[in-house]
Amino acid sequence: LATAFSDYVQKDEGVRCLDHKAWATVLVTSFLKALLWEKRREWMNIYNRAESWLSENVTDSEVEERLYNYSNKFVIQRFKVTQWIDENQQISLGVLFDIRIVRRFISYQHESGCFELTPQLAEALGFSSVDEAKKHIESHFSSSPKTAQLDANIWTSDWLCQQVKDKEVRDELLESARIFVVKRFEVEKDAIEEDESFKDSLEAKDRYHDRGVGDEEPHDFMIPSDEVVGIIRIGVKSAKDLKKSDFWFTFSNPDPYVRIMNAAGTEIVRTRVNHGTVNPKWDEIHF
């Protein structure tokens, strides 16, 4: 298999010179996505660990991206994956949200804050082309009366606040975008509880810009910052000798869990334990 893949990438020196452990790891991830896509909830933790290892060991992001592309195409050809069962299988192969996708999104943003719908961004979102992306996006947003006429390049950013000044229109746009993501990428509703800190920052901007010239600033008023400082990687592993109690183990939540909160105290992630209650294992990674 390594020899076959070596021949496949022989013209790309950056990928060809990588350690064979990187090849084996990325081939397994492509195999999981292409052939075991229906079981993805069972292998997601394995996939996340593999991608984290690759990100640490393949430091050049462009080489890493080409490695994934070669691997996906290689597995499709070698195992004769010629017919998709449905659109969800293709999405599973094209998009799994992780640190690699986040890095790509950041690199696509213009200085103004706008994300232009380029071929690269369309691919990152799981579409085969810009035309396909626009078709899906325009079809979805056209059902919302206030956002139907907005340009397809409007994305959630500070640029959006400047372009869409009407708060009602902006709220409808953000809600419509959330619904689009939930439907297209099969995101469970209880896993996408909105991070209220983003909405709070938009409201803070509105209050700041709507202040009168002579208005005094409250002592606790903070001008929102748009600077992206970085990405936090949180690994949830295991716990030992937890005590059972009615408070922790209720009928609705029989398993222990870890809650990750934002600065406003809003829960943004609730983990799902793999197995065990007194000595649970999570092995989850969140960004």
Q: Is the pLDDT of residue 68 over 70?
A: yes
Are residues 30 and 100 part of one domain? Answer: yes
pLDDT above 50: residue 158: no
Which structural domain range is residue 39 located in? 1-108
The vertex-200 CA angle with 194 and 206, nearest 5°, equals: 135
Is pTM beyond 0.75 here? Answer: no
Is residue 118 a part of any domain in this protein? no
Residue at 114 is within a domain: no
Q: What pLDDT does residue 223 have?
A: 46
Same domain, 24 and 74: yes
In a domain, 96, yes or no: yes
Last residue of a domain, one of 108, 139, 168: 108
Distance of CA 253 to the CA centre of its chain: 26
Do 204 and 242 fall into the same domain?
no
Asked if 204 contacts 222 with a C-beta cutoff of 8 angstroms, the reply is yes
Q: Which residue has the tokens 């938009």?
A: 202
208-233 confidence digits (pLDDT tens):
555 554 455 554 444 445 555 666 77
pLDDT of residue 128: 76
54 and 15 in a common domain: yes
Asked if pLDDT for residue 281 goes beyond 80, the answer is yes
Whether residue 157 contacts residue 109, with contact meaning beta carbons closer than 8 Å, is answered with yes
Identify whether residues 218 and 238 lie together within a single domain. no
The reply to whether 122 falls in a domain is no
Q: Is residue 69, in this structure, part of any structural domain at all?
A: yes
Within this chain, do residues 172 and 260 fall inside the same structural domain, yes or no? no
In a domain, 117, yes or no: no
Please give the tally of structural domains in the chain.
3
Mean pLDDT calculated for residue range 191-208: 52
Rounded mean pLDDT of 170-193?
66
Position of tokens 């869990």? 257
Same domain membership, residue 245 and residue 202: no
Same domain for 43 and 10: yes
Is the domain of 226 the same as that of 242?
no
Rounded to an integer, the average pLDDT of 266-275 is 77
* pLDDT score of 188: 58
Residue 253's pLDDT is 47
Same domain? For 224 and 159 the reply is yes
* Rounded percentage of the chain residues whose pLDDT exceeds 90: 1
69 and 96: one domain? Answer: yes
Angle at 172 between CA 121 and CA 126, to 5 degrees: 20
Of the candidates 287, 189, 184, which has an alpha carbon nearest to the alpha carbon of residue 231? 287
Residues 174 and 204 placed together within one structural domain of the fold = yes
48-63 pLDDT, tens digit per residue, is 788 888 888 888 877 8
Q: Is 115 a member of any domain?
A: no
Which of 108, 138, 160 marks a domain boundary? 108
Among the candidates 197, 230, 263, a domain finishes at 230
pLDDT tens digits, one per residue of 112-131: 666 777 787 777 677 778 88
